[in-house]
Structure 1
Amino acid sequence: MQSVYQALADLHQRYQEAYAAAQCLPQTEYISNWDAPCYQGKPKSGEIGWKAVPQEPALDFDGLEHGLEMPIQDSVKAFFSSFFAGDMVLRFREQFVTLLQVMHPEDGERLQQNLVGHVLMKQRLRQPVTLFIGLTDEDDLLVTVNNTTGAVGLEYVGQEQHAILAGDLEAFLERLEPIVVDPD
């Protein structure tokens, strides 16, 4: 089994190849006050092309772990601290998912704040702690990683994981299929 970093690098490669075959770049929201390292080309209609680049420096989770007084699943830390990239639209079997990515250091800070809120909600509800990594095309249905087991599953906001998609994040990333979203 390869590392989360390598599985994510391979997924980004497949994603870029799918877009290259369609003769376009994946698009993301252009945020003018960010000089996001993943931005490619010039913004058009509030969107800009992107290509994954290694994070330098990598997003640090020490403050988050200290603040929550708990360790964060290593696979999730690797997932969010490997690349600056736009979110990816993908398919897992018949399920469409948007895999969340970090575009810029400030985006990483915002992500960590949202993770804090998610973890505190799970603790308040006395549910196993999960960490979100993506969304689905269904309202309030998240793709999450169990913080203890590392299993990737689906859960509705405020509920426990109800479907396991893969035993670990590497296996999940390896099975995702890129979806080309026409920029026009």
Structure 2
Amino acid sequence: MLSLAESYQNFITQTLSWHQQHNLTLQAWAAEPARPAPGQLAVLDDNTVSWQPVRQQPAADFSNVEQALELELHPDIKQFYSLFYGAGLGASHSRGQLQLLMIWDQADLARLQENVIGHILMKRRLKQPETVFFALTDDDSIVLSVLNRTGEVYLESVGKDVGEKLADSLADFFSQITPAAYQGV
């Protein structure tokens, strides 16, 4: 069985190959194209850049989030957000289209951490199990999340308890998805 890092790297390799085969470029909207993010390759127009996933050096640190929440985040979610910089990768799953979230730069890491804190505080207020989102779907009200206490992957309707279990782990989940063009998910 592949580790999370290996399965994520394999998916990225497949994604880059798929985009090359289909003559597509990974593109992202960049607020400040002149101030390059780690994965940024070229400025395409005023607010659009081409990019590719780049290993984080150093890896993102989530100790501030854990201290604020008095909670240890599941190792898979910390590793997922600590492996690569990027603008998000489109994928297809048997349940539909999705976009894997990624950290674009250090400012984006701070925003992600604030959103994770807000999400977990909401889950606590609703007396629901704590989850951390890692992907968006084509339905704005449904995200893909990791159940913090187990590492299992679920479909989650925003504001509701986890729904359908998709995988036992993020590494398992990566074996279920295939590259797809980003469709504004």
Say whether the fold is shared (TM-score over 0.5). yes
5+ residue gaps in structure 1?
none
The alpha-carbon distance between structure 1 residues 179 and 133, as it changes in their structure 2 partners (threshold 3 A), is same
Provide the secondary structure at the position in 2 that maps to 1:143.
strand
Q: Paired residue for 1:35?
A: 36
Partner of 2:166: 165
Distance in 2 between the 1:161 and 1:94 partners? 15
TM-score normalised according to structure 2 size: 0.94
Q: Tell me how far apart the structure 1 counterparts of residues 73 and 107 of structure 2 sit (CA, whole Å).
A: 20
Partner of 2:94: 93
Deviation at 1:180, TM superposition (A): 2.4
Match of residue 17 from structure 1: 17
1:101 is aligned with what amino acid? Answer: M
- Cα distance change, pair 112–53 in 1 and its aligned pair in 2 (3 A): same
Structure 2 distance, partners of 1:105, 1:8, is 21
What is the alpha-carbon distance in structure 1 between the residues aligned to residue 168 and residue 161 of structure 2?
A: 16
Return the offset for 1:20. Answer: 0.6
Query: 1:1-184 alignment to 2 at 5 Å?
Result: 1-32=1-32, 34-44=35-45, 46-181=47-182
Q: Give the CA deviation at 1:34.
A: 4.2
- Give TM-score scaled by structure 1 length: 0.94
Q: Which amino acid is the alignment partner of residue 170 of structure 1?
A: A
Deviations 1:61-96 (A, max 9, x none): 111101110100100000000000111111111411
Is the CA contact (8 Å cut-off) linking 1:30 and 1:43 kept in structure 2? Answer: no
8 Å contact from structure 2 (residues 28, 50) kept in 1: yes
The CA RMSD measured in Å over matched residues stands at 1.4
Question: What is the distance in 1 between the residues matched to 2:146 and 2:113?
Answer: 15
Aligned partners of 1:29 and 1:123: how far apart in 2?
Answer: 33
1:126 deviates by 0.5
Separation (CA, whole Å) in 1 of partners of 2:81 and 2:170? 12
- Paired residues, what number? 182
Of 115-124 and 26-35, more deviation after overlay is shown by 26-35
Contact 1:95–1:136 (CA under 8 A) maintained in structure 2: yes
Q: SS of 2:99's equivalent?
A: strand
Identity of aligned residues (%): 30
* 2:40 alignment partner AA: Y
Q: Give the Cα separation in 2 of the matches to 1:3 and 1:165.
A: 18
Determine if contact 2:89/2:182 at 8 Å carries over to the other structure.
Answer: no
